[in-house]
Amino acid sequence: MKQRIFIVHGWSAAPDREWFPWLADQLEPYGLAVHIPAMPDTMRPTIDEWVGALHTEIGELRSTDILVGHSIGCQTILRYLELYGDGVSVPVIFVAGWFSLQGLENAEEEDIARPWLDTAINLAFVRERCRPLCVILSDNDPYVALDENKRLFEDRLGGFVTVMHDMGHFSEAAGIYELPIVRDSILKFIL
C-alpha cells in the first residue's frame, strides 16, 4: 500500500494552481500517493464543508499519512484532526497557517473568515495528533501576522517554525510556483 500525502489548498485556490502540481510531480518518483482534493465552494469556505470533504477524501487516517495545508487548508487540517484523529499521530506541514489574520480586504472576507477565527479548536488534543508539526511562514505575508502566529504555533502546538524571506502568502500572487522546503520536509519523513 502506497504512503499517502494529502495537500489541502487554501481559500480561492485549486488543486491545479499555486505550488501544488509542482509538489505532486516532485513526489511522484518516490512512489507516494499524492491527493490534492478540490475543496468545496472555494470562494466561500466553511468549516463543516471543508472538514467533511477532507474526511471523505482521507477515509481512515493512517499513521503513515502526511498532511500538508496551505492557509485555510491548515485550519481545515487542525479541525479534521480534532474530529477524526483520535489514536493517530501523523506528520503535518503547514504553509502560511494562521490563528489570526490581517489585511482582509472587505466585510465579505471578514464574514467568511470569522467562523474560522472564532470557533475554538481543542489544541491540546490536536497537538498529540501533529507529530511532528512543521510550520512555514513568510516575513512579508500580507494576511498572516508573523510574530503572533509564530508564537501560537510554537506555544500551543509545539510546532517547529521556519520563517522564509519575501515569500508573501506562498501563492501565485507572490510568484510562488515551487516550494522545495515542503518537498524536502516530506522526504525527511519518508526516507
- Place 2 in a pLDDT band, splitting at 50, 70 and 90: confident
Side chain identity at residue 130, one-letter code = C
Say what the pTM is: 0.97
Helix (H, G, I), strand (E, B) or coil at 76: helix
Residue environment code for 144-181, b if the CB has 16+ CB neighbours within 10 A, otherwise e: bbeeebbebbeeebebebeebeebbbbbeebebeebeb
Residue 113 gets which letter from DSSP?
A: H
Q: Give the model's pLDDT for residue 191.
A: 72
Q: How do residues 94-140 score in pLDDT, each as one tens digit? A: 999 999 999 998 999 999 999 999 999 999 999 999 999 999 999 99
Q: Which residue shows C-alpha cell 522564509? A: 164
Which superfamily does CATH assign the domain made up of 8-132+160-190 to?
A: Alpha/Beta hydrolase fold, catalytic domain (3.40.50.1820)
Residue 1 pLDDT greater than 80, yes or no: no
Name the residue ranges covered by the structural domains of the chain: 8-132+160-190
